[in-house]
Amino acid sequence: MSVRDKLRVGVIGGGYIGTTVGGLFNQDPRATVTALADVDPETRRSAGEQLYVGDGSQYDDFRAMLDAEDVDAVLIGTPHTLHHEQVTAALDRGLHVLCDKPLTTDLDQAQDLAERAESGDEVLMVGYQRHLNPAFQTARERFEDGGDPQFVSAEITQNWIRRFENTWRTNPDLSGGGNLYDTGSHLIDAVLWTTGLTPASVSAEMEFADDEARVDERAILTVEFENGAQGTISVHSDAPCVREHIHIWDHDGAVYLEGRQWEEREMKEINPESTTVIPYIDRSAQRNKAEVFIDCVERGEKPPATARDALAVTALTEAAYESARSGETVDVDANI
């Protein structure tokens, strides 16, 4: 395919997401990265080398890139609080968008983007990769086929607070908060998307790393769901390594989802006889974010991780921060 026939992608943010997912676009014969924007000159230079974007198509301002470059889509891998402005600017120009999680750190902004995505023709996909993971897809099928979740316990550990000290991730003006808005966002999304549950209220306890009580180091959420189910979601950010455990119980047993940082997530089932069963999971057809995004653009399909999914995560996250600071149970916005 010639460059003209490929999906031309502009990358906003030349850090980890920009270079790794941007690299996946370059590896797909249907797409190519043609432009790059980043405010930091060294990051921009390094990302340009990795993504094969020349100096003439590198910008320090994303709006200048969008105005000057003939792109079809953008990949956004910038700090969380910048997403809404950048997504909106791209959609205003009729571009498709793949945005890293969380979509926004503000409930009104999340609602705005969900409504816009559902009323427009552009693809707006959010980078929640568990939606592409066969183990989570298999677990979700159980609850789509009639399983009724009653109790959920989910936890993730990480050496987050030390690893990201003095970076934008621990600057709440850029991150929106602490680890609950970073790695914890994946965990909240995994619980909500896999079970199909809608949170009704949350009571949260947090240990903060800053005097302003904005950057959570530990978070424990007790959630009441609309169907009467209950659950806990826990994020511990000062652990020596990464582990993720999600246990979902219904009337017929349970689903266990477990994993380490870069490994495939494993799924187990507990049947009514208390026997552990490891189902066969076909991973041969698993696609990466770039592949799925291109498929959605070409076919006009709904993306696997939507702005509406991201809205639910933001609603529960924002309510959890409010609860932790007030010491009261907080209702989760019902318009999700």
**Residues 202 and 269 reside in one and the same domain:** yes
Assign residue 107 the CATH number of its domain.
3.40.50.720
64 and 134 in a common domain: no
Question: Is residue 296, in this structure, part of any structural domain at all?
Answer: no
Note the pLDDT of residue 2: 61
Model pLDDT, residue 285: 86
**Do both 149 and 265 map to the same domain?**
yes
- Within-domain flag for 70: yes
Number of domains in the chain: 2
Residue percentage of the chain with pLDDT more than 70: 98
Q: Note whether residue 336 is domain-resident.
A: no
pLDDT digits (tens, 9 = 90+) for 96-149: 999 999 999 999 999 999 999 999 999 999 999 999 999 999 999 999 998 899
The pLDDT mean for the chain works out to 96
Q: Which residue has the tokens 């991973």?
A: 283
Same domain, yes or no: 179 and 261: yes
Q: What is the mean pLDDT of residues 283-296?
A: 95
Same domain, 172 and 194: yes
Q: What mean pLDDT do residues 236-260 have?
A: 95
Kindly tell me if the per-residue pLDDT of 185 is higher than 70.
Answer: yes
3 has a pLDDT exceeding 70 = no
Q: What percent of the chain has pLDDT over 90?
A: 94
Nearest residue to 9 via CA among 57, 78, 79: 57
Q: Is residue 300 assigned to a domain? A: no
Given 113, 128, 143, the domain boundary residue is 128
Residue 110 sits in the same domain as residue 205: no
Residue 104 lies in a domain: yes
The reply to whether 298 falls in a domain is no
CATH number at residue 246: 3.30.360.10
Is residue 21 domain-shared with residue 93, that is, in the same domain? yes
pLDDT at 173: 97
Average pLDDT over residues 220-234: 97
- 175 lies in the same domain as 46: no
Q: pLDDT digits over 196-208, tens only?
A: 999 999 999 999 9
CA distances from residue 163 to 10, 179, 224, 240 in whole angstroms, order as listed = 29, 11, 32, 10
- The answer on 144 and 250 residing in a single domain is yes
The boundaries of the domain holding residue 19 are: 3-128
Q: Is residue 170 part of a domain?
A: yes
**CA-wise closest residue to 16 among 46, 39, 61:** 46
Beta strands in 169-281 (DSSP E): 199-208, 216-225, 230-236, 243-250, 253-259, 266-270, 276-277
> Which backbone phi and psi does 325 adopt, to 5 degrees?
-80, -30
| Whether residue 43 is found in the same domain as residue 192 | no
Are 118 and 231 within one domain?
A: no
End-of-domain residue from the set 128, 147, 177: 128
Sheet of strand 243-250: strand arrangement: 276-277, 266-270, 253-259, 243-250, 151-157, 230-236, 216-225, 199-208, 330-331
Confidence of residue 302 (pLDDT cuts 50, 70, 90): very high
Which of the listed residues 128, 160, 190 is the one where a domain comes to its end?
128
> Does some domain include residue 40?
yes
Q: What is the pTM of this model?
A: 0.96
pLDDT at 260: 83
Do 162 and 270 sit in the same domain of this protein?
A: yes
